Structure 1
Amino acid sequence: MLVLLPPSETKASGGDGPPLSLDTLSLPELNPVRAKLVDALVDLAGDVPASLAVLGLSERQAGEVARNAELRTSPTMPALSRYTGVLYDALDVPSLTRVERGRAAERLGVASALFGVVLGGDPIPAYRLSGGSVVPAVGPLGGLWRPVLTPALAEREVIDLRSAPYSSLAKIPHAITVKVVTEDGSGRRQAVSHFNKAHKGLLARAIVRSRATPQARNLVKIAAAAGLRLEPVGERAFELVV
């Protein structure tokens, strides 16, 4: 079972791994598109104003362009250490045991505008590219990724925790979906926006701490063991009530 997380705009700096080698990444069938995008971003980084416009950045964020310029030469670190922010703070990989970190590396994947999907242990450099970006040399990312990413995920059991911009990069109609909701005094529910990522991080943490292989039939039990209220609302759809 693959738990597919959204990425974060922010990335940790540095790393102690060797420079990017696409051959070390999971899902090698994605490598031709990965290579095309790496080439396009490195080339685009040669024009800083154009890069800022494409990436939706301000001049104060020009350091992000410099990261893209060094995609082929900068050090790498495991994907779950590279991504930062609310979700990854809640997941809190450093506090997991060695065995749990091993599960995280295998069970957790991250949707990526640049790499399509990486597993938690895949070594990647810092970069900047969002799911909604349109890179001049390749066009909209959805049109680039869907033809290869959708079939790559078709044979995998997936718990889909992606955000909307990354859901558009590949359709996974068979996936288990989880919606984070809040419940008022009358029992009416509405989607949670502000703390959505934090609760998804807690659910992902519960899944990697569990010895049981996550499946639709035991997901509620896995969540409950971590103090989370997960309820089925369809055969493969759940709501995480917070």
Structure 2
Amino acid sequence: MLLLLPPSEGKTPAPADAAPVDLAALTAADALTARRTAVLEALAAVSARPDAAQVLAVGASLGEEIARNTRLRAEPAAPASRVYTGVLYAAAGLAALPDDAAARAARTVRVVSGLWGVVAPGDRVPAYRLSMGVDLPGVGKLATAWRAPLAAALDARAAGDVVVDCRSAAYLAAWKPRTSGDRAADWVTVRVVREADGRRSVVSHNAKHTRGVLTGHLLRRAGEPTSAAELLKAAEELVGEVVGTEVGSGLSYRVLEATLHAATGRTGPRTLELVVG
């Protein structure tokens, strides 16, 4: 199993006395260090500009986070499982896994990032502000810039395995598993829909939270899925369980159904759909 997650928009800074990032110690350093260095340098330069917020497509109120981008090589770093926070990560509980689940996460979980390309939960990184959708001066569109390095880092790892893809569209554009040939992967994206009064719709909070619940379940359960069919069986174990609380109403919701849908094209993924309500 290869479990792909998006980074959280917000990040929690490491303790002030923590050591800075060591690029040579990050996952897939041989394939990704050159691109990581280029993006770090370009991000620092852009973040020092008066129009940095506009270029990075963030609010002007995030001035402190933008300023941090100018000194990321010296900023304190912490495990990615603690730096990335938010709905999905809180539901997955990556920072508080028991030993056997933490070992599985180290092998299987990869966070796709506009700055680092991809990191494992234990990789030590500083808090930063950069999304994959940015067109970064000096580098270009990040999804395009990362495509070849990520192929070098991930193609062999994904080959012959099931890829459980919880990424959003911007991050999916940076790398897609091969679904044909001798290095094919069993690629499955995860879609979450909410059912209310007989109608189904996508709700962002429910989707992020439920993907996090699925991630935590796949890491903690006894067996590790190695195919889409086994992934579906693992997801079906959540059917009937209360997995979250509605924002606003405070009402709890549970997984009602898990279904595996066929790919819509020759090279596209299958879709694991989770219905909550």
| TM-score above 0.5 | yes
| Helix, strand or coil at the partner of 1:8 | coil
Q: Is the 8 A contact 2:12 2:127 kept in 1?
A: yes
Taking the TM superposition and a 5 Å limit, the aligned residue runs for 1:9-88 are 9-15=9-15, 17-28=18-29, 29-47=31-49, 49-88=50-89
- Tell me how far 1:221 sits from its aligned partner: 2.7
Identity within the alignment, % = 40
Q: Distance in 1 between matches of 2:149 and 2:96?
A: 35
- Tell me how far 1:72 sits from its aligned partner: 0.3
**CA RMSD of the aligned region, Å?**
2.0
Q: What is the aligned partner in structure 2 of residue 239 from structure 1? A: 273
Structure 1 unpaired stretches of 5+ = none
Amino acid in the other structure paired with 2:193: V
**Structure 1 stretch displaced more, 164-173 or 121-130:** 164-173
TM norm structure 1: 0.90
Q: What is the aligned partner in structure 2 of residue 202 from structure 1? A: 213
Amino acid in the other structure paired with 1:159: V
Amino acid in the other structure paired with 1:210: R
| 1:212 paired residue among 223, 246, 258 | 223
How many residues end up aligned between the 2 structures?
240
Amino acid in the other structure paired with 2:59: S
Q: Deviations over 1:104-133 (max 9, x none)?
A: 232211110001111111111111101111
**Structure 1 stretch displaced more, 132-141 or 16-25:** 16-25
Which ranges of 4 or more aligned residues in structure 1 deviate by more than 4 Å?
none
Q: Is the 8 A contact 2:143 2:170 kept in 1?
A: no
Distance verdict in 2 for CA 1:45–1:185, change over 3 Å: closer
Q: Is the 8 A contact 1:3 1:160 kept in 2?
A: yes
Q: Is the 8 A contact 2:81 2:95 kept in 1?
A: no
Q: Is the 8 A contact 2:94 2:121 kept in 1?
A: no
Q: Is the 8 A contact 2:13 2:76 kept in 1?
A: no
Q: Is the 8 A contact 1:17 1:123 kept in 2?
A: no
Structure 2 unpaired stretches of 5+ = 180-186, 242-254, 264-269
